Amino acid sequence: MKQSLTKAIIVILLLFCILTLLYQVSIATERGQEYPIDLSLKGRVAKIVVHKQKRILELYDDKNKLLKSYPHIALGKNPQGHKEFEGDSKTPEGLYYIDSKNPKSRYFLNLGISYPNKLDIANAKKHNKNAGGDIKIHGLPNGMNIAKELFKQYGDWTDGCIALDNASMKELYEVISINTPIYILP
């Protein structure tokens, strides 16, 4: 009995090690993946507009000309309305700015969004709550690019962020500058 239990534990540990290794290889492969990037967008994007209801992210130049659209974005699991409090799973609405870039997040790349602003913080305090934060534009969870079609079909799955497929995220990451305004519309 003890011998078969020991064998079962060894098999489980080996499977765990193999799965961990495969996951790490998948992450490394995603980070090294070559994606086509429209470099003509670099330096031309004056603003980002997100249409939550349409699930579209758009890039515009300084003359308000549409440069590119990214359909099939995912939002927070509770997408209706403006994010008010930490944990409400809503994506904010309003004018914010891209305030950071992170190439090593737990999702494939990310662009930080300047939520919460002063009004968001004041509103949350008025209700004795925390406004939350850490809202990003990001790709799929690391190691999950192989399931990108499932994520497209799944719908809204983030905690309030805006998610795109990894190829789109790579392009955004390369062409968007810090301080680019982002208008998040209902």
Q: How far apart are CA 138 and CA 157, in angstroms?
A: 12
Q: Indicate whether 68 pLDDT > 70.
A: yes
Average pLDDT, stretch 90-108? 96
Give me the sign of the Cα torsion angle 85, 179, 177, 95: positive
Q: Indicate whether 11 pLDDT > 70.
A: no
Distance of CA 131 to the CA centre of its chain: 19
Average pLDDT, stretch 129-157? 85
pLDDT at position 12 is: 61
What mean pLDDT value characterizes the chain?
87
pLDDT at position 19 is: 46
Q: How far apart are CA 93 and CA 158, in angstroms?
A: 15
Whether this prediction's pTM lies above 0.75 is answered by yes
- Higher pLDDT pick, 149 / 97: 97
Phi-psi region of 132 (alpha: psi -120 to 50; beta: other; left: phi over 0): left
Q: Indicate whether 26 pLDDT > 50.
A: no
- Under 8 Å between Cβ of 113 and 133: no
Q: Which residues, including other chains, have CB under 8 Å from residue 96's CB and lie 6 or more apart?
A: 113, 114, 115, 117, 135, 181, 182, 184
